Structure 1
């Protein structure tokens, strides 16, 4: 039961273990993943990211972007790698981790070829399972650009609770002050959300 999980140490919260599912593996994000991300990305891939994306569509720019993400405090970044091909198709992160308050934000960026597949639900399942069942989190939350209708739908499909909108909360590198829609899953809600994600992945096997 997740309610029996004691809070993990601060060091554990900031570890980057390799997490493996049926379709993907999550591993620490590094500039070595830049080639796959550059090859598979398009303009929509980074359009709604709160911190923007690489400055140009080159492998070097993606490597610099990854280095910047990894330098941010209270953040752990994972590359999302397909098991069947070995190709990296995105990244998923714990950001703004608060060990004392036992919560973390999760943010996801997937390449177009991985959207609408098992990748997103399994990446969420792996990272949320670690948060609630290993780290002892009380809460996981998500902030979505209000313009990003696809991601808003995905949050509702996940079973996360929409808490509200933080108006002009985050200023992107292009100067646009985006409204961020906040969704969350609490410890007591996790079993139902987990079951929903497992059911979605089970349907992919059939």
Structure 2
């Protein structure tokens, strides 16, 4: 598996590899406290730069890189998504640190992003794409199930949140033989939004 930063785009969203040029625009969007409710690291306010810096594309030896999510029709910044825990020797990658500003939740943005991210991962040779979320983040869990990812289980007391409490983590995955059905499901969901794209 060879997964490197690249611009990804469809009729709905453009995923731009994260660079310093995105910093201030994303800092403004990241001010929404609700975005960080379930995370292990808080990326708003004084925590923003420590969250942002490790996700910039092109850092030598990095096993992760982020994308600024932009709406194709308007050019507005809608949020962020990343490739994390890139393991070329095991052909495994996680899609995560995904968040969108309030106007972009529950519509076309997430299925359009997942279509691009999973497609890119499998084109690069991934044999497993992982997704995970806080055990109490039911909205994310519903989105992963709706997408067609397989829920694998819960790791109890898995991580420490930015508040200092311990969280359970629910894991999901998509494998190559599952990808065609997942892709078709995402494409079907996006058909309802085609006039808005």
TM over 0.5: yes
For 1:174, what is the secondary structure of its paired residue?
coil
Matched, 1:146 2:135: yes
Contact (CA 8 Å) 2:68, 2:77: kept in 1 or not? yes
- Structure 1 runs (4+) deviating above 6 angstroms are none
* Structure 2 match to 1:112: 102
* Structure 1 match to 2:55: 69
Aligned 1:35-46 pairs, distance under 5 A: 35-41=24-30, 42-46=32-36
Q: CA deviation at 1:54?
A: 2.9
* Structure 2 match to 1:102: 91
Q: Which runs of 5+ in 2 are unaligned?
A: none
Q: Cα 1:38–1:149, aligned 2, differ >3 Å: closer, same or farther?
A: same
**TM-score normalised to the size of structure 2?**
0.89
**TM-score normalised to the size of structure 1?**
0.85
Q: Cα 1:161–1:146, aligned 2, differ >3 Å: closer, same or farther?
A: same
Matched, 1:87 2:73: no
Q: Which runs of 5+ in 1 are unaligned?
A: 1-7
In the comparison of the two structures, how many residue pairs are matched?
190
Contact (CA 8 Å) 1:36, 1:88: kept in 2 or not? yes
* Structure 2 match to 1:128: 118
* Structure 2 match to 1:27: 16
Contact (CA 8 Å) 1:31, 1:63: kept in 2 or not? no
Q: CA deviation at 1:68?
A: 3.5
